[in-house]
A and B are shown apart, each in its own frame.
Chain A
Amino acid sequence: MEHIRTPKVENVRLVDRVSPKKAALGTLYLTATHVIFVENSPDTRKETWILHSQISTIEKQATTATGCPLLIRCKNFQIIQLIIPQERDYHDVYISLIRLARPVKYEELYCFSFNPMLDKEEREQGWVLVDLSEEYQRMGLPNHYWQLSDVNRDYRVCDSYPTELYVPKSATAHIIVGSSKFRSRRRFPVLSYYYKDNHASICRSSQPLSGFSARCLEDEQMLQAIRKANPGSDFVYVVDTRPKLNAMANRAAGKGYENEDNYSNIKFQFIGIENIHVMRNSLQKMLEVCELKSPSMSDFLWGLENSGWLRHIKAIMDAGIFIAKAVSEEGASVLVHCSDGWDRTAQVCSVASLLLDPHYRTLKGFMVLIEKDWISFGHKFNHRYGNLDGDPKEISPVIDQFIECVWQLMEQFPCAFEFNERFLIHIQHHIYSCQFGNFLCNSQKERRELKIQERTYSLWAHLWKNRADYLNPLFRADHSQTQGTLHLPTAPCNFMYKFWSGMYNRFEKGMQPRQSVTDYLMAVKEETQQLEEELEALEERLEKIQKVQLNCTKVKSKQSEPSKHSGFSISDNSIANTPQDYSGNMKSLPSRSPSQGDEDSALILTQDNLKSSDPDLSANSDQESGVEDLSCRSPSGGEHAPSEDSGKDRDSDEAVFLTA
């Protein structure tokens, strides 16, 4: 490829983030889609693959005697430090990566070259797995109050909305078009979620162009229509998810918020979620904390507090809880907006839906939820996650925050979700990977123009195919936690929100619990299933033999097959863990090179796993200490590594997570 100045550099060192003195020597390759580092060590040949689209920043660091260090930070929170011996190679790699990490055309993205060896039919089936018209049907639509509108056919009214939209029956095309002219980017109020039980609904829009005094009859009628579509309540909540100050400032620009005097029967409410710039900085600050080398407890907690990240997560959750309560307990419909109605609005609507409807807490339902509230309603994936080179000020971890909200809920309600943490982590990974077409572009219109469905594959089909890896063993469809609305305590429980090290430090395997309860239970469940089958077969055979014996006929029964089942031994495939540096700055333990890192630690995997891109995998195979790898008993039976991409591509950490 034209942008690759040097495709291969030898004698590169990959620095171990944990103990910087331990660096692996190997060869660095630049390909059209990946940065690949292959260790020289003949017995491991460990490979580290980084997708260009995952690269967030590339930093040249001060040259040392050993060479020129390059620090690569990834959007999936992986950090890689390479030391390149020759200044010229160093510069070439740097320049190449700068360009490769910032594609300017969609066609440069990985999904257009990624080929999982599926035929055309399979690909098409993948794209219909998640079907929004089916989802609206599931909600009970269309019905007496709501109808499918074709007003946005060919994106005539709003180019960032989908073509299929549900609006109140009483909202005529005239009202819709009139309302759309009074809303930022013409994002008029439409249905996001319909609560069958009591007819209340969650609607979404952008801010009204009210300025200091402007009004719009059609917009007022539109809200009226939303109210009328819910016979159970005589008012509608209008929730502005911005801080009041921000909303007021918008009035000066001819935008703003609804005046309660102009709209009949609305209850207006501000919920202060900060804007994308505040969130971007907050994440940045939190990641700096995660990156600290051997931080003290105070450094960490202080930094976490100072980043404000958990405060923002709580604000989003609070908004979602407010709306879910309004809908389920008060039976009132809610119109949600922020400024453009594609960031905070998407977060809040989807959190509220997730609290209200158990369907969204299933594997399939969660995909549908993202498809609906994020993809179809024009969340600007391309801008927010920087898929193509663009304005860095547009980048913000909006969906990351939503994903974290789900994790925080999973921690509170361990039996309520059909999927596990890994599912969330893989979705986050692929929002940035551009390996599948789902999250490309900024709107449905752009995606259709690019013919995404004909040219790329769908992530949902891929996740669905490997769903065994994403199941929560504690989920049971008939469990009380899985029914109805999730009820969170009303008191301000700040301590409910916790730092998610499984996400933000996920490449520091030593920091994570070394034994996975989820994987353990999945293995038990898998074995249980085998036992059930065996039990049935045994009973059958027993019955047969007994019958035969009763008849006094001698029939040679087939020798019983030696059972493959050998109880629960978890002896092989062990991940050993080794001690980290506990001695701090003491020079007292000379035989081990003391590292600065507080994190551990060499995790020992078997050959197969060493191919993955995990920075923590060390070739130090010390099998005698540590813990048996429970994840090796993953439901797949250890036969296949659910790598994210048919073996050819090893960009992701997944292979490690799911340790074959």
Chain B
Amino acid sequence: MEFAELIKTPRVDNVVLHRPFYPAVEGTLCLTGHHLILSSRQDNTEELWLLHSNIDAIDKRFVGSLGTIIIKCKDFRIIQLDIPGMEECLNIASSIEALSTLDSITLMYPFFYRPMFEVIEDGWHSFLPEQEFELYSSATSEWRLSYVNKDFAVCASYPPIVTVPKSIDDEALRKVATFRHGGRFPVLSYYHKKNGMVIMRSGQPLTGTNGRRCKEDEKLINATLRAGKRGYIIDTRSLNVAQQARAKGGGFEQEAHYPQWRRIHKSIERYHILQESLIKLVEACNDQTHNMDRWLSKLEASNWLTHIKEILTAACLAAQCIDREGASILIHGTEGTDSTLQVTSLAQIILEPRSRTIRGFEALIEREWLQAGHPFQQRCAQSAYCNTKQKWEAPVFLLFLDCVWQILRQFPCSFEFNENFLIMLFEHAYASQFGTFLGNNESERCKLKLQQKTMSLWSWVNQPGELSQFTNPLFEANNLVIWPSVAPQSLPLWEGIFLRWNRSSKYLDEAYEEMVNIIEYNKELQAKVNILRRQLAELETEDGMQESP
């Protein structure tokens, strides 16, 4: 086992741990292949178990022979370890650095994790494309499942099974794939049962500078239009960026070749701009010294909320096209793996009541993020504290979760899950014992044999005992489309995630508990009353029977 080589000092005594909201604890620090553990050996103090993969960056300091390691986690928590002995401290620090940046995915914890719970439902099979397809195949016969990508040859980032218009055969799909970025030909993302309109997504068309066209591509997307109807193409880049993309072989749909489609450019930022934004925001949240005005200006300068507003606005526009204009849409940016997915998935949250339930939301993540090939491995490799910035790191998924939280805040009774559910998903996307978010697409996951070798997050989450902590007590099924406000006044900072370690949530937690109590008590009474009513009814009929003969 290679881990032993990386751990020079597996154990240090008399280490003092400082972390938010807990008194300092002295205890023994142990390093294992995947965890950093601090145990005080006292019953009443909580131990620290930290996944190495959750560590984003570390700093070390020395005062005399007392070393201090500051550990900055991907979930934004900062903890401090005071370690006596310079050598021990240096050893620990270098081990942590090595263990938290393992190159090989197969060395990650999910490959070693053995669940302590009994698996009732295997999450790897909870959301199969065939089952998802059945949900709307009763309403329409215009779509079919295609297995054209079953060996990932047509599109490396697509799953083996995709939904396409029935009238388009696999041969045509292969041709279209050559005309779309990364082979990502237009596929069905969402079918709006109310009016039969659809959201499709794809990569950018490879028109290049000489305006290349692809008849099959035009035919494919036109096949989704009703006679005489127009559709909208939402390009998540600005017109300028889209035009520049032509020089690199990319481009956008030209009006002349797509006369039935109207193009809308809704610019959403990408990559390092988002990563920088996150870094600045977390820095502002951690800065305890500045005054009120500096706080607001730093919040503003981070641009995080600007991105939230942009993404939500694009999603609302997409939903509006579908529900209000009665028009189908195609969404893409460049690759179609980031902003595209933010928009398609948020539009579904707005339009589709099912996606606001726990299972529906899980299915949405499975379909629109995991299967759709959002490169989690790349995007979530590092978080807000990392110094070595890689171009492909970006909090795309976190922005999506933040947007969902914004809608949840505006419609607190319309979601079956609560804020904790979103926070949990954020944590697992960045560091997890489960295999769900490993790899960049289905093809990689297949090669890694994740289904056989790791446990699915959904297997754990969907146990009744676990679900209760993620269930929103206020939930009342709401079958309507919900239109969020995107005014700046309506989009506050998500404190539950960004100020989580900077302010005590004691009073807010108490309020949540009180809310649960109020509702639980009501349900309890309801049940009691129902039982009594039934009893009474029975007695009264007995009464009647006794009387009647």
Contact = CB atoms under 8 A, between A and B. Distances in A.
Interface in B294-353: 294-297, 299-300, 303, 305-306, 308-309, 313-314, 316-317, 319-321, 323-325
Given A546-B539, A560-B533, A511 B485 contact: yes
Given A311-B293, A414-B508, A598-B486, A556 B413 contact: no
A301 interface: yes
9 contacts: A305-B293, A311-B293, A495-B285, A514-B410, A521-B519, A528-B518, A531-B529, A545-B536, A598-B486
Interface stretch (B136-144, B213-221, B395-403, B499-507): B499-507
A524 B536 contact: no
B510 A479 contact: yes
B388 interface: no
A488 to B, nearest CB: 10
A514 B519 CA distance: 20
B488 interface: yes
Nearest to A416: B507
A304 B300 CA distance: 10
Contact of A538 (B290, B521, B536): B536
Contact of A626 (B474, B480, B522): B480
Interface in A291-339: 294-302, 304-305, 308, 310-311, 314
Chain A contact residues: over half helix, strand or loop, or mixed?
loop
A495 B518 contact: no
A311 B296 CA distance: 10
The list of the 10 closest CB pairs from A to B, nearest first, reads A300-B488, A414-B511, A305-B296, A301-B300, A494-B295, A582-B317, A311-B292, A531-B525, A582-B316, A538-B532
B75 to A, nearest CB: 18
Given A510-B485, A521-B515, A538 B295 contact: no
Contacts of B499: 495
Contacts of B411: 513-515, 627
A279 to B, nearest CB: 15
Interface in A463-506: 473-474, 476, 479-481, 489, 491-499, 501, 505
B288 interface: yes
B514 A474 contact: yes
B480 A305 contact: no
B497 interface: no
Contacts of B264: 583, 586, 588
A412 B506 CA distance: 10
Interface string B521-549: 11001101100110111011011001100
A580 interface: yes
Contact of A517 (B325, B492, B515): B515
B481 interface: yes
Contacts of A517: 412-413, 474, 515
Interface of B: 232, 262, 264, 285, 288-297, 299-300, 303, 305-306, 308-309, 313-314, 316-317, 319-321, 323-325, 409-414, 474, 476, 478, 480-483, 485-493, 495, 499, 502-504, 507-508, 510-511, 514-515, 518-519, 521-522, 525-526, 528-529, 532-533, 535-537, 539-540, 542-543, 546-547
Nearest to A599: B487
B483 A414 contact: no
B326 to A, nearest CB: 9
Nearest to A510: B485
A511 B529 contact: no
Given A580-B485, A582-B314, A598-B486, 7 more contacts: A415-B510, A494-B294, A495-B503, A517-B474, A520-B413, A568-B476, A582-B316
A541 B540 CA distance: 11
Interface of A: 290, 294-302, 304-305, 308, 310-311, 314, 412-416, 473-474, 476, 479-481, 489, 491-499, 501, 505, 508, 510-515, 517, 520-521, 524-525, 527-528, 531-532, 534-535, 538-539, 541-542, 545-546, 549, 554-557, 559-560, 563, 567-568, 570, 576-580, 582-584, 586, 588-589, 591-592, 598-601, 624-628, 630
A542 B536 contact: yes
Contact of A582 (B293, B320, B515, B519): B320
B532 A626 contact: no
Name, among A505, A514, A570, A591, the residue most crowded by chain B CB atoms within 10 Å (CB to CB): A514
A416 B540 CA distance: 47
B325 A310 contact: no
A626 B492 contact: no
Contacts of A296: 306, 309, 488
Contacts of B547: 554, 556
B317 A583 contact: yes
B446 to A, nearest CB: 38
A104 to B, nearest CB: 37
B489 A495 contact: no
A471 B514 CA distance: 15
A539 B532 contact: yes
Contacts of A600: 483, 485, 487
Given A297-B309, A524-B518, A579 B510 contact: no
Contacts of A495: 285, 295, 493, 495, 499, 502-503
Contact of A302 (B297, B495, B525): B297
A591 B323 CA distance: 13
A494 B292 contact: yes
A515 B543 contact: no
B302 to A, nearest CB: 10
A568 B519 CA distance: 12
Name, among B295, B482, B491, B536, the residue most crowded by chain A CB atoms within 10 Å (CB to CB): B295
Contact of B480 (A311, A416, A560, A625): A625
A588 B482 CA distance: 22
Nearest to B413: A515
Nearest to B481: A625
Contacts of B478: 627-628
Contact of A474 (B293, B309, B481, B511): B511
Contact of B296 (A301, A476, A532, A554): A301
B293 A308 contact: yes
Contacts of B529: 531, 534-535, 538
A492 B412 contact: no
B320 A474 contact: no
Contacts of A515: 410-414, 474
Nearest to B490: A511
Contacts of B285: 495
B333 to A, nearest CB: 17
B513 to A, nearest CB: 9
Contacts of B321: 589
B480 A627 contact: yes
A520 B288 CA distance: 36
A463 to B, nearest CB: 24
A545 B540 contact: yes
B296 A576 contact: no
A618 B287 CA distance: 45
Contacts of A491: 288
A563 B480 contact: no
A499 to B, nearest CB: 7
A310 B480 contact: no
A582 B485 CA distance: 9
A601 B485 contact: yes
